[in-house]
Structure 1
Amino acid sequence: MSAPTSPRPARSAEELIAVEESVLAHNYHPLPVVIAHAEGVWLTDVSGRRYLDMLAGYSALNFGHRHPALIEAAHRQLDRLTLTSRAFRNDRLAGFAEDLAALTGQEMTLPMNTGAEAVESAIKVARKWAYEVRGVAPDQATIVAAEGNFHGRTTTIVGFSSDPVAREGFGPYAPGFRLVPYNDLPALAAAVDETTAAVLIEPIQGEAGVVIPDDGYLAGVRELTRRRGALLVADEIQSGLGRTGTTLAVDHEGVRPDMVLLGKALGGGIVPVSAVVASREVLGVLRPGEHGSTFGGNPLAAAVGSAVVELLRTGEYQRRAARLGKVLRDGLASLVGRGVTGFRSRGLWAGVDVDPTIGTGREISERLIAEGLLVKDTHGSTIRLAPPLTITREELESALATLERVLA
């Protein structure tokens, strides 16, 4: 047996960034900060400088970094069992599936790993349902999605993206998808016909800049799909699990989709966990061998996922996001005309349009790094704010004051 290798000597942020640029595929353009430690809403870089996290891993860290209950659940499970594959049953999966279905008002759970896998799974299930239940002719099922969507980066999913950066250069693409403008019920009604298996929609479009539809839009989509006999699939991978002040973003309009897609926060920032939750009629179309995942529903993921559901069961985090969301909204409203041209927010989630004469979203994000605040830009001069739901009012007000100072 060879001797164990010695640990690498500590390297500076500049050295680590240079290595990344050399050996990592350039599919991301990270901001110039190198994180070494995290606790709650605070991050520490390799030089020991602290930052307030106002991104929360695109909502994967709704409960902050290393939440004690989630870390305990993971440690406890690591000492017992981590993986069996679905060839065998494990003692954690049943409880997780049962609890998640109950939390979301559904009946069955299909566990996967990543958000894109949940979306791909929903596409397969919707098509199978269309053929077996709705009676659509073989290979003729269509799925309607919205322009400006972000559902993932697989070849199938980018095939119905309207973002040229995500789409161009990766074709040919699978047929069977129709795009309509977001927040446009007449356009949606014109696109749904007897071949439509499902309407796939984000209740709030996160990647597009936290775009919130008009009041009544989601209820209208629900009524339209019900009347036309198609499924409503809500992609709540970013918007779900407390982020908007309710368990699901569709709860703001009292809408119950046929399928709900979850991910990101479901893994507690520890392991990738995603799921499709739906009725027995819908998920019941799957039979053994037709769909699967080696790691989906593994005991470690199920243990962490169950702990996440337990945190949400009391409604404490949902109420906290709603309460602090008002602080966030009021703070951003006070900046309109003073470096901010507009914003959209719901709960602890906001898209902030910065005056382009001040800088691009990327430039503003880099200036905020220098002030100890981490955010992320999206299109043009828009930045996104999505702090962990564990943030205090004082920390949130401090972040808003820092944003005000940088914009000034």
Structure 2
Amino acid sequence: MDTVKTIAGLVGLTAVALVLSPSAAHAQDSNCYDTTAPLTVEEQRLDDTLVTGGPAVGPALVKLAGFDGRVANFTAKLCRQGAPKQAQQFVEREGAALWKAAVARAQSTTTLAHDAYDDRPLYWARLQLSSALRQWKPRFAVSPADRAKLVQRFDWASRGLSDVAFPAQPGVRKIAVTGFDPFQLSGTNVRRANPAGAAALQLDGRQIDTPTGKVVLQAAVLPVLWGGFDEGIVEQFYGTALQQGPDAFVTISQGRPGRFDVERWAARWRGGFGDNNDVGSYGSVPDAAGWPQPDDEFIETTLPHQKMIDAGTGPFTVAYNPAFCEWVTVDVELSCRTDQPTPGRVAASGGGGDYLSNESMYRANRLRTGWGATDVLGGHLHTPVLGQPADPAALTDAAFEKQRRDIADQVKALVSVV
């Protein structure tokens, strides 16, 4: 795979003409981007196809969802930003607008040409726009650090972090939740979706009537990137929620085949597995600057796991997973059990493993306990694994869409029980 791409490759499909048009209206746009500027590994996958000579998967999914016009509009307007403050406001506004459009599409009550539950168009549209930001040649000087900050501001807004606002309604339970981007996207797996991200889009802003009263939800989608976690994205979302008196935190990710798991333990350890930029990280979970940082090796869920199991949300089984591993001697000897961690020992993995799923639970609940919010419930829900379309050259099929819908709808039911 080439390490740099052209804007035509980034925008893809019908959007290209709006950026590289030879007409006078867009004459300067073709000089607005440095096509030699490198992209991240994640962004380079925008050119990946399922079959040789076939369409690029990411841009095709963006077009199916109707987000291609939004991408073209962004890349054209970015060229017209004339000052740093103006650019900052533009990227934050556009990021928030992309998130809101994805949530509105996901929760649409009208019949759409492409499955409303598909989380992938948001993911790939976000990468198209972050790629444009990396290759943009502004009219003013911008340092690498300033550009990185612009990308982060756009990214966080496009994930739902800029509109975390619970309504001020008495007697309403307020729950903050996060899902994840698709991951493990190498080769033909580039078409993968993540039901946890699909569930987050279904839940953001929802007000759900339950037998015990109304539940209101705020949601965001987290990156599958160690670097994003190092920047404090988990703490930023849940910290904003904490300031509004929530009742519960539920971090959500894709887990095991065929069942949901409420994880008992989160561990302060990274196992080194590569993220969406093919970067690994190993060792204790780092602190996030500016937030409370208790040094617990393990944090136990306070979610009402038995209530969630007994609720009969179906169609998938719901289980309580008490497993964990600790280091007897770090990097040498492991002890894996289902009882209680040994005081003084270093964590090696929680019930959800030692990847970013586990870390989302750990960081959200480290913040909760560090804040002293012991009355706020907190824990992690692993969804069943979502398969892929049966035809290896297909972007979707009915069985794939039904499974994603079933998982996301059961997440909605389980979170409503909390």
Report the TM-score, using the length of structure 2 for normalisation. Answer: 0.25
The higher relative CO (CA closer than 8 Å, separation ≥ 6) is in 1
